[in-house]
Amino acid sequence: MTNVYARPKIKGSVDDLIDQFDKTLGGNDESATVTDFIDTGYWPLNYALTGSYELGLPQGRLIEMFGGSSTGKTALATNWMAQAQQMGGVAAFRDWERSFSQLVASEGFGLDLTPPYWSYKKPRTWEEGNMQAVAYARWVREKGIIHEKAPILIVMDSIASAVPASSAGKNMDELTMNDTTALARVTSTTLKSMAIAAEDYNATFLYLNQIRTKPGVVYGDPRTTPGGVAMEFYSTCRLALGRQKVMKQVDGQKEFVGQNIDIQCVKSKLTKPFKECTLRMSFTEAGIAFFDKELSTIETLAGMGKIAVPSKGWVEWEGKRIAPSALAQRVRDEKLQPVLNKLFLT
């Protein structure tokens, strides 16, 4: 049996003891609790991240989002950067991949490209990109560019494309096996500092990553990500993306019209992990991708039984049968998204 010891009687007053405690140890620090969030604009995703429909991406933390090719990683990140700006915050992008189109981000997602509310850099190394991100977050907070609670969202694209400084100055024929593992080693040393900087400046650092398949895996998840396991440890949330093509019959032939992005929160320090949601990505006639949050919300609510489904391919709205796509267009036209969102809370 474990012994239980009585606490000795305090000499002097409790107030004097607490005062000595504060002077000697500096008191207790504030709890490491997230209090500020960036609304993703899609309530099922907010719920997957935090267990609450009304929250979203945690501020002051590191987040990783990974997936295969064309699963919408950059598009989602761009949408969230625009959301952060609409909340009175700022956004930034560190483009190791050299693939980000500011024009598409502005015209397709409404991203404000006006400095200092937008910062875009193409760093040459992993270390340079991270230092640029911290410098921008520090400058924004110290200069009072935005409200102290307003979000700073900095997207890093992508870990797999980043080159460690130790390899950057070498010719290709000089690279060795040590350079193959250099990225994993450098992420382990830098991400612990990035986690502290994120909290210090109440900034969200969103790292995008690619996906690889481990050979010979029979049981368990064969997926892995470049850059070692450090990101798994220091991330508050990790989002895994997959996709399913959406085909439509056009002139007697099947035509690709969009894709359903399956999002699974494989790690969350804010709620129970492995919550999932699906978000429809469609394309304009000009070929620019956009997220059909209205249709996705309708389909999710129908699946939860919060919108009636009188028959396959139809939903019920205000006592009338209507196609989900037609209702989604009405929601856009009449700005009814808040009305839909309230159904999640009923």
Q: Just give the CATH number of 33-166+175-282.
A: 3.40.50.300
Preceding omega of 215 cis (within 30 degrees of 0): no
Element (H, E) at 94: strand 90-95
pLDDT at residue 244, rounded to an integer: 92
d(Cα 1, Cα 286) in Å, to the nearest integer?
A: 73
d(Cα 82, Cα 153) in Å, to the nearest integer?
A: 10
- Cα dihedral angle (183, 189, 192, 195), rounded to 10 degrees? -50
DSSP 173: G
Which two tokens mark 201? Answer: 């400046």
Question: Looking at this protein, which amino acid is placed at residue 245?
Answer: K
Q: Is the dihedral of CA 176, 122, 147, 238 positive or negative?
A: negative
- Coil, strand, or helix at residue 21? helix
pLDDT at residue 296, rounded to an integer: 97
Kindly provide the b/e burial profile for residues 286-302, where b requires at least 16 CB atoms within 10 angstroms of the residue's own CB: eeebebbbbbbbbbbbb
pLDDT at residue 77, rounded to an integer: 97
Domain boundaries, the chain: 33-166+175-282, 292-346
Q: How many CA atoms lie within 13 A of 192 on its CB side?
A: 4
pTM of the predicted model as reported, rounded to 2 decimal places: 0.91
d(Cα 148, Cα 151) in Å, to the nearest integer?
A: 8
Cα–Cα distance list, 328 to 281, 292, 297, 323 (Å): 14, 8, 9, 9
Predicted confidence (pLDDT) per residue in 123-170, tens digit: 999 999 999 999 999 999 999 999 999 999 999 999 999 999 989 888
Count of C-beta atoms within a 10 Å radius of residue 137: 24
pLDDT at residue 82, rounded to an integer: 97
pLDDT at residue 1, rounded to an integer: 64
Which two tokens mark 6? Answer: 């009585």
Contact 90, 116 (CB under 8 A): yes
pLDDT under 50: residue ranges of the chain: none
| Coarse DSSP helix, strand, coil percentages of the chain, rounded to the nearest 5 percent | 35, 25, 40
d(Cα 291, Cα 275) in Å, to the nearest integer?
A: 20
